[in-house]
C-alpha cells in the first residue's frame, strides 16, 4: 500500500496560497510529464507555462470551474502537424493525458497542488484557450492545469470499486482468490 501512496495522495487542489512556484519546480513537473509513454513514441505534447496575470485572468473567465487563484498554469497541448499525422491525430489526447497525469503526480510529490481543467473536445473552450495562448493551427489545447502551493488539505484516497472489474468478459465478476 505504501509503495503506491504517491498515487493515492494526489488530489485535485483548488485553493492556493499567493506564493509563486519556482521555475525549478516547474521544470521538474515538465520532466515528469515528458516521461509518459506515447503512441509510437511520437511525443505529440507541447506545454505552455502561463505566468502572465492578465492571461491567467482571461483563462479563468473563459473556462467553467476555473476560478482558481493559482499563480501558474500549464496548458498541455497536442501538436498534430507531425509527419505521422494520422497517428498523432488518433492518439494525441491519450498521450497528452498520460503526460498530464504524470505532471499531477509530480506536483503532489513535490508538495504542490494542482487541478486538471478539461478543454478538448469542447470547441468553444478550445477556441478561447487557443486565442489567449496564441496557438498555431494544428496545436490543440487538451487542458489547463492550475498549479500552486496548496491552501487546502485532502486525505489520500482511491475510488476503487470492484463492481467495475470483470474477468475475461464484460459482466463476469472478477473475484480475486488469493487476497
Q: Residue 11 Cβ, how far from its own copies at the closest point, in Å?
A: 8
Q: Residue 102 Cβ, how far from its own copies at the closest point, in Å?
A: 5
153 versus 177: smaller Cβ distance to its own copies: 177
Binding residues for its own copies restricted to 105-164, rule: CB under 8 A: 105-106, 109-110, 116, 118, 120-122, 133-136, 139, 142-143, 157-162, 164
Is residue 61 within 8 A of residue 144, CB to CB? The reply is no
Exposure b/e, 89-115, CB count within 10 A at least 16 = b: bebbbbbbbbbbbbbbbbbbbeebbbb
Number of Cβ within 10 Å of residue 6's Cβ equals 13
Is residue 68 within 8 A of residue 60, CB to CB? The reply is yes
How many residues lie near its own copies (CB under 8 A)? 79
Binding residues for its own copies restricted to 35-94, rule: CB under 8 A: 35-37, 39, 41, 43, 45-52, 55, 77, 90-91, 93-94
Amino acid at each position: 500500500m505504501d509503495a503506491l501512496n504517491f498515487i493515492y495522495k494526489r488530489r485535485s487542489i483548488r485553493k492556493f496560497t499567493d506564493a509563486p512556484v519556482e521555475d525549478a519546480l516547474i521544470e521538474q513537473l515538465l520532466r515528469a510529464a515528458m516521461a509518459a509513454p506515447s503512441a509510437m513514441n511520437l511525443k505529440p505534447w507541447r506545454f505552455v507555462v502561463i505566468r502572465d496575470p492578465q492571461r491567467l485572468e482571461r483563462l479563468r473567465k473563459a473556462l467553467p470551474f476555473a476560478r482558481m487563484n493559482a499563480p501558474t498554469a500549464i496548458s498541455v497541448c497536442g501538436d498534430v502537424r507531425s509527419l505521422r499525422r494520422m497517428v498523432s491525430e488518433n492518439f494525441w489526447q491519450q498521450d497528452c493525458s498520460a503526460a498530464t497525469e504524470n505532471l499531477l503526480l509530480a506536483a503532489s510529490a513535490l508538495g504542490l497542488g494542482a487541478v486538471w481543467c478539461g478543454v478538448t473536445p469542447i470547441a468553444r473552450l478550445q477556441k478561447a484557450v487557443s486565442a489567449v495562448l496564441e496557438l498555431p493551427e494544428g496545436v490543440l489545447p487538451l487542458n489547463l492545469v492550475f498549479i500552486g502551493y496548496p491552501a487546502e488539505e485532502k486525505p489520500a484516497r482511491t475510488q476503487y470499486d470492484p463492481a467495475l472489474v470483470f474477468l475475461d468478459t464484460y459482466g463476469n465478476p472478477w473475484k480475486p482468490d488469493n487476497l
